[in-house]
Structure 1
Amino acid sequence: MITRAIAAALAVAALGAAASLPAQPAGKAAARDWTRAVSATPDGGFRVGNPAAPMKLVEYGSLTCDHCAHFARDGMPKLLAGPVKSGQLSFEFRNFVRDPYDMTAALLARCAGPGDFFALTDALFDAQRDWIARYQAMTPAQSAEMNALTQGQKIDKLAEFGGLYAIAARHGVPAAKAKACVTDEAAFKKLAEMRKIAAERDQLQGTPHFLLNGKPLAVHDWAGLEPLLKTPAG
């Protein structure tokens, strides 16, 4: 067993040895991880990445669009791990609602706020086939019953019927908050306004629709988009 005296002597010797070593240069500061920077934008989207990035990519996407789900699966992980993380590119997702089911999912995703918007959006894309299949299985009587409701009541019923409340709850949106979001008239109007701007100003023809530094792109998938992100667009 090492006695206290010997242990103290060893500690002093170690300190002396450390003091005699040449000073090491200060390590390089860790680069900022820009995937942690998420904010709402004036255009109604949610942006992840460096707001001052030289490349600014916008996607107009629909949560009922299978091609958008493919892009979320194939392109987003590469975007986030590469140019978004490094600060070279910011990515903004703007909802483009196409139908009541899409409206329901979009309202819930946006209800999560900047902190959980992308996680909930990814979860909705991952489960897209399942919840769309539930809607497709509705009977004519169920559809007629829903169509007789007010807009807010209908969205509430659709969220329950499709299992979307459960998905939202797993990503930090409790039931009471979710119900308030899907019946929010201002939120309906905002999504309708975004749809109008997408078609009239941003030349949207279908989803996903991409803008790079404000310019519409004639590509609709990761294979077409990736080569355009090699250098900043003017």
Structure 2
Amino acid sequence: MISIAFPTKARMTFSLGLIAPLMLAACGADAETGGDEAGEAIAAIPAPDGTSWTETVTVSDEGGYVLGNPEAPLKLVEYASHTCGACAQFSATGKPPLKDDYVSTGVVSFEQRNLVRDPIDLAIATLVRCGQKENMQPLSDQAWGALEGIFQNVQQNAAQYEASGELPVEQRFIAIGEAAGLIDFFSARGVSADQARACLADVETIETIANNSAEQANELQVSGTPTFFLNDSRIDGISWNDVEAALQNAGAR
């Protein structure tokens, strides 16, 4: 089994075996608390003139991408893996009503952070950041929607994927991106092949994503995806119904 490791203070190693089972194995949060407060309804907070909260994106100190009012009284955070089927399901079923019904009001912000599980996950996490910050979450959602095809590409290009583990880090993720079909996938969505390769060769950014994931997972005891926090309290559950109930109990309507 080939592995990759980052020689930094927060060392992270990933298996480079075939990872189709990770669509299931990478999922399942250790949900514990949160979502049980019964708050009064919070009034909507208008966006500045000429803007929309659903088009407002900021980057947090933790390296997450925040959609919505950065000063929202209710701050929802998701730790997600790009190779997690349950995360893909939440992207498809939860994020549309979350944005339309809650983020749009200015009462709720939604921050997406990475819990990196494997090299393909890290490659996608790198590529969705390869451009304007406003594109990060939309590109993530499109990658989750194509997850089955991405795994099929890896299976078909197994030898190339395995061989990538022998390459220097600045070449390794380019090879992973090619084996998984990610460079072509993102090229069709506004990230040119040259731009994608440049991002996948950016070792500093890749290490930052991996280290943020390792450090935050350790600090918050996050071991499964998706895991949700609302105002720093862990939500009990991983479905949109669980998340919506927590938001409404906290005052979002």
Q: In structure 2, what is the equivalent of residue 205 of structure 1?
A: 223
Q: Cα gap change, 1:180/1:30 in structure 2, threshold over 3 Å: closer, same or farther? A: closer
2: CA distance, partners of 1:83 / 1:143: 40
Q: Please report how far the alpha carbon of residue 143 of structure 1 lies from its aligned counterpart in structure 2 after TM superposition.
A: 4.2
Are 1:62 and 2:62 counterparts? Answer: no
Are 1:173 and 2:208 counterparts? Answer: no
Q: Which moved more, 1:143-152 or 1:206-215?
A: 143-152
Percent identity among equivalent residues? Answer: 34
Query: How many correspondences in the alignment?
Result: 204
Q: Give secondary structure in 1 for the equivalent of 2:77.
A: strand
Q: In structure 1, what is the equivalent of residue 121 of structure 2?
A: 102
Q: In structure 2, what is the equivalent of residue 186 of structure 1?
A: 204
**One-letter code aligned to 1:92:** E
Higher RCO, Cα 8 Å, sep 6+: 2
* Unaligned residue ranges in structure 1 (runs of 5+): 1-28
Q: In structure 1, what is the equivalent of residue 135 of structure 2?
A: 116
Q: Give secondary structure in 2 for the equivalent of 1:224.
A: helix
CA contact (8 A) 1:53 1:88 kept: yes
Are 1:35 and 2:66 counterparts? Answer: no
2: CA distance, partners of 1:125 / 1:73: 8
2: CA distance, partners of 1:110 / 1:71: 20
Q: In structure 2, what is the equivalent of residue 76 of structure 1?
A: 95
Structure 1: 4+ residue segments shifted above 4 A: 29-32
1: CA distance, partners of 2:132 / 2:80: 17
Q: Please report how far the alpha carbon of residue 217 of structure 1 lies from its aligned counterpart in structure 2 after TM superposition.
A: 2.0
2: CA distance, partners of 1:37 / 1:68: 22
Q: Please report how far the alpha carbon of residue 144 of structure 1 lies from its aligned counterpart in structure 2 after TM superposition.
A: 4.2
**One-letter code aligned to 1:196:** A
CA deviation digits over 1:7-43, x for unaligned, max 9? xxxxxxxxxxxxxxxxxxxxxx989531010121111
2: CA distance, partners of 1:183 / 1:116: 20
Higher Rg of the two aligned structures: 1
Q: Normalising by structure 1, report the TM-score.
A: 0.81
CA contact (8 A) 1:210 1:216 kept: yes
Relative to total residues, which structure has the larger helix share, 1 or 2? 1
Q: Give secondary structure in 1 for the equivalent of 2:71.
A: coil
* Unaligned residue ranges in structure 2 (runs of 5+): 1-47
1: CA distance, partners of 2:49 / 2:216: 38
Q: In structure 2, what is the equivalent of residue 217 of structure 1?
A: 235
Q: Please report how far the alpha carbon of residue 170 of structure 1 lies from its aligned counterpart in structure 2 after TM superposition.
A: 2.7
Are 1:53 and 2:72 counterparts? Answer: yes
